[in-house]
Structure 1
C-alpha cells in the first residue's frame, strides 16, 4: 500500500509539473487539491500550488497594471492566504517557502503594495540567489521576481534628502534587476518555446536600455540591445525581437554618429569538432541565454550598415507577420501589425533615403501593400517614393530611356498611377500633388502637371497652408512650359500672362525662394521685359548667391545690346555660373559663347574641350561610384545644391523637344534593329552635343574642316539627331555649298519641325539659291514661331528687299531694330 501511495503521489507531481509548464492553472489547482486530500504530508506543497494556480489564473485574465489594483486587492485574498501558509517551517522543509515568498512579492505588486513586495523579496534573499540550473517554471518565477523588484524600486518615490550616492546605487540596482530579468526571460523562452513572456517580462526586457539612456550611458544601452538580439531565437521571441530591433535602430539613428559609434563584437564559437555548424551557439553561464556563434557572422563596420541591417530585418519580420484578413474579428491584430510595420517602414525611409537608396524604400512599401488596404500613410509614402525613384531614374538615364516602354517612362507612369490611387485617401495633401506635378513636367505631361499644381493651390488657399508660394511656383512653371510648347500666338500669350501672374505671386509670398525669382526672370526675359528680368535676377542672387541658373540669366542680360554690352560683367557672371555648377553643360556652353565674342578664341576652344572631357570623366566617376563598398551619405547641403542645379539649369529648352526626341529614338531603334547596334545612350547624347558645340566654335573661328570633323564625331554617336543635321548644314553653308546645306536643314526639320534655327537657315539657303518665295515662307514660319527673335525679322527684311517689296521689307527691318536691343549677343 505504501508503494502504491508513493507512486500515486509521484503521478500527481508529474501531472502538476506538466500543468504548470503549460500554464494550465485550473487543472493544476484541481490536482493540488487532490494531492492535499490524498497525501497530508504534502500539505505545504499543495498550499503553494493552489496559491500559485489561483494567482496565475487571475493575472492571466487581469494583468498587473494600475487600473486593476482594486480588483486584485479584492480577488487575491484567497491566493495570498494559501501562499502565506506555504512560507511556514513546513514549507521551508518542503522547499517551497522561497518560491512562495517570490510569488507573494508578485501578488503584492499586483495589489499596488510595492513596499510589501520588496519586503518579501528581501525575505527570499533575492539579491543573493546562486546562479544554477533551474527548472523551467522556476526560471519564470525568478525572472518575474527580478522584473517586479525593478518596477517596485521605480514606483517608490526617492526622498529629496537622499544623497546622490544612494540614488546612483538605487538606479544601479534597478538596472541590475532588469538585466537579470531579461536574461532569465530569454533563457526561459528558449527552453520553453511554446510559452509567452507576458506583459511584465516584455516590459522588463525593454526597461534596462531605457534606464541606461536616461542616465546618459548610450553605449551601455546599445550593448544591452545587442546582447538581447544575439540570443538564439525561438517561436515566442519573434515579436520581442521585432520590438527590440526597432528600438535599437531608433537609438542608432538618433544618438550615434561618427566616432561615437563602436561596432559590435562577434561571438566566437566554442572550440570543438562541431563549431562549424551553422546552428552552433554558446552560453556564458547558467542564467545567461544561449547566443548565436559562427565563423561567418556578419559584423557591421559602421552605424550606417548596422541601422540598415536592423531595419531591413525588422521590416521583413513585420511584413511576414502582417494580418491579411479584413474581417472585423481581426481588426485589433490587423491594426497592431500595421502600426508595427509602418514604424519600421518609416525608419527604413529615414535610413535609406539619406544615402539615395530609393529602390530599397520602394520595394519595402510595395511589400506593405498586401496588408495595408486603404491605409493613407502607406499609399502616400509609396507615391512619394515612386516619384522620387522616377525622377532619379530620369536624371540618371536622361532622355535615352524616357521613351514609352523605357525604364524612366515606366517609372513615371507607375508613379503617377500610384499617386492617383493615393489622392482620394489624402484629399487635403498639397505636397503629394506638387510632387506629381513635378514628375508630369519632367515627363512632358504639361497639362496634367498644371492640373495637379492648381489642385494643390486650391487646397493651400482653402487652408492657408505653408506651401501656397510653392504651389504658385509650380503652376507658373507649368504655364511657362505650356507657352513654350504651343505655337499659336493667342494661346502662347495667354499662357505667358498666366505664368507671369503665378510667378509674381510666388515671389511675393516667399521673398526668400530663389527658384521663384529665377523662373520669374526667365519669364520676363521671354516676354522682352529686360529691366524687370534683371531685377528678378538680382533678387534671386540675393536669396541664393550661388544659383548657377540666375548667373547664366544675368550673363545673357548683360550681353544684350540695350545693356551696353557689358562684356566684363557678362563674362564674370558666366565664369561664376561655371564655378558653382562645374558639371552643367549649359553653363559651360554659355561661357564658351561669351569667350568667343569677348575673350580669346583659344579660351573658348579650351572651354569646349573641357565640356567634351566632362562626360568622359563623369562616366569614369559613375563606374567608380558603382563599385564602392562603403555607404556614402549625401549631406543636406549637397542634396540642396543638386536640386538647385537641376531646377536652375537650362529650363528655357522648348517643351516640344520631347517630340523631336521621340522621332530621333524611333529612327535610332529602327536603324539599330536593322544593323544590330544598340541605340545611343544618354552619355553618348551628351558627348554628341559637346562635339556640336566645338563644331560651332570652330565655325565662328573659320576652321571649317575642324568643324566638319567635330560633326562627324557627333554623327557617329547620334546619327539621327536633328542638331547633327543642323550643324552639318552650317558647315556646308560656311563652304557655300547651299544645295547640301538645304538638304541638311530639311532633314533636321523632318525630325524637329519647329526647330527655329533650322527654319531660319533653311530660308537663308533658299535665299542664296535664289528661291525667294520658299525663302520668305521659311523665314515667316520662323518669325511666327518666336516673334521676339530679331534675327528672324532681319532675315525676312533681306528676303523681302530682294523680292522687290520695299514697304514690307521696311516693316520687317523696323521690327528687327526694335528687337535687336533685347537680343543677347551670343545668340
Structure 2
C-alpha cells in the first residue's frame, strides 16, 4: 500500500513538473490540489505549487506594469497566502521556501510594493546564491528575480545625503542584477526552446548596457551587447537579437570613434574540444549562456566593419521575419515587422552611405521591396539611393555632362532611378526634395522635358507650404531645365524664350535666398551666355562669396577674366585656375583651364607640362580601378555649348546635314586606322580628351608631328569620337592638307551633325579649296546654331569678301569685332 502511494506521488510530481515547464498553470494547480489531498506530508510543496500556478496564470493575462497594480493588489491575495504558507519551517524542510520567497518578490513587484519585494529577495539570500546547474523552471525564476530586483532598485530613491561610496555600491548592485538576469535569461531561452522571455526578462536584457551608457562607460556597454549577441541563437531570442543588434549599431555610430574603439576578441575553443560539427559552442560556467566559437570566426578589426556587420546581420533577420501576407488579421504583425526592418535599413543606409558602400544600401532596399507594398518611406529611400547610384563624370557639372549612351550601365542606372522615382512620388505627394532629385536624374540622363515636369511639381508643392525652405532651390532646378532646353534647340525664337524663362526663375531664386551659391552660379552662367559680362562677373563674385571653393564659380571667374573685354586680367584668370586645382586636386577640369591659360599668358612648355600632368592623373585613376575620389561639391551646371572638349551624344540631335552613308563611312574609316583593338577602359573618354588637349597645345606651338601622335593615341581609346576626327582635321589644316582636312571635318559632322567647331573649320577648308559657296552655306549654318561666336563671323567675312560682296563682308566683320570681347579665350569646361 505504501509503495503504491509513493508511486502515485512520483507520478503527480512528474506531471506537475511537466506542466510547469510547459506553462500549463491550470493543470499544474489542479494536480497540486490533488497532491495535497492525497499526500498531506507534501502540503508545503502543494501550497507552493498552487501559489505559483495562480500567480503565473494571472501575470500571463495581466503583465506586471504600473497600469495593472490595483488589479494585482485585489486578485493576487490568494496566491500570496499560499506562497506565504510555503515559507514556514515545513516549507524550509521541503526545500520550497527559497523559491517561495523569490515568487513573493515577483508578486509584490506586480502589486507595486517594491520595498517588500526587496525584503523577500534578501530573505532568499539572492546575492549569495551558488552558481550550479538548475532545472529549466528554476532558471526562469532566478532570472526573473534578478531582473525584478534591478527594477525595484531603480524605483528606490537614495537620500541626498548618501555618500558617494553608497551610491557607487547601489549602482554596482543594480548593474550586477541586470547582468546576471540577462545571462540567465539567455541560458534559459537556449534550454527551453519553445519558451518566451516575457516583458520583465526582455527589459533586463536591454537594461544593463543602457545603465553603462548612462554612466559614461561606453566600452562596458558595447561588451555587454557583444556578449549577448555572441550567445547561441534560439527560436525565442530572434526578436531580441534584432533589437540588440540595432542598439549596438546605434551606440557604435554615435559614440565610438578612433582610439575609443576596442575591437572584440574572438572566442576560440580549447584544444582538443573540436569535433567534426560545423559549429562549436562553449560555456564559461553553469550560469553562463553558450556562445559561438570557432577557429575561423570572423572578428571585426575596426568600428566600420563591426557596424556594417551588425547591421547586415540585423537586416537579414528583419527581412527573414517580415510578414508577407496582406490580409487584415496580420496587419499588426505586418506593421511591427515592417517597423523593425525600416529601422535597420535606415541605420544601414546611414552607415553604408557615409563610408561609400551605396551598393549595400541598394541591395538592402531591393530585399525590402517584397514586404514594403505601399510603404512611402521605403520607396522614397530607394528612389534617393538609385538616384545616387549612377556615376557622374568628376568635375563636370550637370549642363556640361553628356547624356550617357543608350544601353550603357550609366544609362541603365538612370532609367532604373527614374522608374523608381515615378513609383515613389505619388506615395509622397508633397515631398519636394524627392521631386528635385528626380528632376536632377532626368537632367543628367538628357530627359529634359520630364525633368522640367518634376521641377515644376516640386515648385508647386513648395509654394503650397508656408515658408518652404526649398522654394529657392525649386526655382533653380526649373531654371536649369529651361537652360538645357534652350541649348538643345536650334530655333532662335525658342532659344530666346527659354533663356528668358530661365533668367526669370534665377532672379526669383537669388531674391529668395541670397546665400545660395548654386543660384548665383547659374545666374552668372545665364548672363554670360547672353553676353552680359558685367552682370555675370557680379553674380560670379556673389557665388564665390557664398562658397569660396565653388568649382563652377572658379571656372566662370577664369573664363570671364580671359575675355578680351576684361582687359589684361591673365594673372587673375591663372590664379582662379590654380585655386580650383588646389581645391579639387583629383579633378581634371582645373587642368584643362590652366593649360589653356598658360598657353596664352605663360609659355607653351608650362602648358604642355600641365597637359602631361592631366594625363598622369587619369592614368593613376585608371590604375585605381577607375574610382573617383572627387566629390562634386557644386553640383549642377556649366555650359552645354559644344566646345572642343564637349562630347554630347550624337543620337540626341538631328542629323540635318549628313546622310546615313556618311556616318557609316566615317565610322568605318576611323575604325580601319586601328591596327590593334584595345579593351575600353572606364576612363577611356577622359584619357582621350587629355590626348586631344595635348594635341591642341602642340598645334598652337607648331609641333605638327607631335600633335598627330597625340591624335593617334586618342583614336586608339575612342575610335568613333567626332572630337578625334575634328582634331585630326586640324592637324591636316595646320599642314595645309586641305582635302584630307575636309574629309575629317565631314566625317566628324556625320557623327555629330551640329558640332559647330567642325562646321567652322569645314567652312575654312572649303574657303582654302576655293569652294566659296559651300563655305558660305556651312558658315551660315554654324552662325544659325550659335550666333554669338566671333570666329564664325570672322571666317564668313573672308568668304564673302572672296565672293565679291563687300557690304555683307563688312557686316560680318563688324559682328565679329563686336563679339570678340565677349568670347572667353579659355574653355569654361
Q: Which TM-score band applies after superposition, normalised by the shorter structure?
A: over 0.9
Distance 2:322 2:55 in 1: 34
Q: Is the 8 A contact 2:64 2:109 kept in 1?
A: yes
Query: Where in structure 2 are the equivalents of 1:79-478 lying within 5 Å?
Result: 79-274=79-274, 277-391=277-391, 402-463=404-465, 464-478=467-481
Shift of 1:702: 1.6
Residues 463-484 of structure 1: per-residue CA shift (max 9 Å, x gap): 1311112211111111111111
Partner of residue 525 from structure 1, selected from 521, 524, 528: 528
Residues 375-422 of structure 1: per-residue CA shift (max 9 Å, x gap): 1111100111111112469999x9999322221111111111111111
Shift of 1:22: 0.4
1:545 corresponding residue in structure 2:
548
Larger relative contact order, structure 1 or 2 (CA cutoff 8 Å, min sep 6): 2
Distance 1:606 1:446 in 2: 39
Distance 2:118 2:816 in 1: 98
RMSD between aligned alpha carbons? 2.5
1:18 corresponding residue in structure 2:
18
1:41 corresponding residue in structure 2:
41
Residues 772-811 of structure 1: per-residue CA shift (max 9 Å, x gap): 1111110001111111111111222221222122222222
Query: Where in structure 2 are the equivalents of 1:796-811 lying within 5 Å?
Result: 796-811=796-811
Q: Is the 8 A contact 2:279 2:292 kept in 1?
A: yes
Moved more, 369-378 or 561-570: 561-570
Distance 2:684 2:651 in 1: 17
- Give secondary structure in 2 for the equivalent of 1:45: helix
Shift of 1:646: 5.5
- Give secondary structure in 2 for the equivalent of 1:378: helix
Q: Is the 8 A contact 1:668 1:679 kept in 2?
A: no
- Give secondary structure in 1 for the equivalent of 2:390: helix
- Give secondary structure in 1 for the equivalent of 2:132: coil
Shift of 1:680: 3.4
Shift of 1:108: 0.8
Partner of residue 604 from structure 1, selected from 607, 620, 624: 607
- Give secondary structure in 1 for the equivalent of 2:633: helix
Q: Is the 8 A contact 1:391 1:439 kept in 2?
A: no
Distance 2:634 2:518 in 1: 10
Distance 1:321 1:675 in 2: 59
- Give secondary structure in 2 for the equivalent of 1:278: coil
Shift of 1:575: 2.4
1:683 corresponding residue in structure 2:
683
Q: 1:219/1:210 Cα in 2 relative to 1: closer, same or farther (>3 Å)?
A: same
1:562 corresponding residue in structure 2:
565
Distance 1:395 1:560 in 2: 22
Distance 1:682 1:207 in 2: 52
Distance 1:743 1:661 in 2: 23
Distance 1:78 1:375 in 2: 50
Aligned length: 811
Shift of 1:27: 0.7
Q: Is the 8 A contact 1:186 1:231 kept in 2?
A: yes
Residues 20-62 of structure 1: per-residue CA shift (max 9 Å, x gap): 0000001101111111111111111111111100100110011
1:515 corresponding residue in structure 2:
518
Residues 416-453 of structure 1: per-residue CA shift (max 9 Å, x gap): 11111111111111111111111111111111111111
2:633 corresponding residue in structure 1:
644
Shift of 1:208: 0.6
Shift of 1:652: 5.2
Distance 2:632 2:569 in 1: 30
Distance 1:799 1:148 in 2: 99
Instruction: Provide TM-score, normalisation by structure 2.
Output: 0.94
Q: Is the 8 A contact 1:549 1:650 kept in 2?
A: no
Distance 2:636 2:563 in 1: 24
Distance 2:292 2:670 in 1: 58
Q: 1:683/1:220 Cα in 2 relative to 1: closer, same or farther (>3 Å)?
A: same
2:659 corresponding residue in structure 1:
none
- Give secondary structure in 2 for the equivalent of 1:281: strand
1:657 aligns with 2:648: yes
Moved more, 47-56 or 710-719: 710-719
- Give secondary structure in 2 for the equivalent of 1:642: coil
1:61 aligns with 2:61: yes
Instruction: Provide TM-score, normalisation by structure 1.
Output: 0.94
1:632 corresponding residue in structure 2:
none
Shift of 1:705: 1.8
1:578 corresponding residue in structure 2:
581
Q: 1:571/1:395 Cα in 2 relative to 1: closer, same or farther (>3 Å)?
A: closer
Distance 1:205 1:578 in 2: 55
Q: Is the 8 A contact 2:622 2:682 kept in 1?
A: no
- Give secondary structure in 1 for the equivalent of 2:822: coil
Q: 1:759/1:392 Cα in 2 relative to 1: closer, same or farther (>3 Å)?
A: closer
Distance 1:790 1:165 in 2: 87
Q: 1:260/1:100 Cα in 2 relative to 1: closer, same or farther (>3 Å)?
A: same
Shift of 1:506: 2.1
Distance 2:394 2:34 in 1: 78
Q: Is the 8 A contact 1:47 1:83 kept in 2?
A: yes
Query: Where in structure 2 are the equivalents of 1:711-750 lying within 5 Å?
Result: 711-750=711-750
Distance 2:642 2:44 in 1: 93
Runs (5+) with no aligned partner, structure 2 = 656-662
Q: 1:247/1:15 Cα in 2 relative to 1: closer, same or farther (>3 Å)?
A: same
1:629 corresponding residue in structure 2:
none
Moved more, 264-273 or 761-770: 264-273
- Give secondary structure in 1 for the equivalent of 2:549: coil
1:630 corresponding residue in structure 2:
none
Shift of 1:613: 2.0
Q: Is the 8 A contact 1:561 1:824 kept in 2?
A: yes
2:50 corresponding residue in structure 1:
50
- Give secondary structure in 1 for the equivalent of 2:631: helix
Runs (5+) with no aligned partner, structure 1 = 627-637
Q: 1:826/1:78 Cα in 2 relative to 1: closer, same or farther (>3 Å)?
A: closer
Shift of 1:757: 0.9
1:75 aligns with 2:75: yes
Q: 1:349/1:478 Cα in 2 relative to 1: closer, same or farther (>3 Å)?
A: same
Q: 1:276/1:504 Cα in 2 relative to 1: closer, same or farther (>3 Å)?
A: farther
Shift of 1:338: 0.7
2:597 corresponding residue in structure 1:
594
- Give secondary structure in 1 for the equivalent of 2:632: helix
- Give secondary structure in 1 for the equivalent of 2:324: coil
1:614 aligns with 2:617: yes
Distance 1:404 1:394 in 2: 20
Q: Is the 8 A contact 2:647 2:723 kept in 1?
A: no
Q: 1:4/1:385 Cα in 2 relative to 1: closer, same or farther (>3 Å)?
A: same
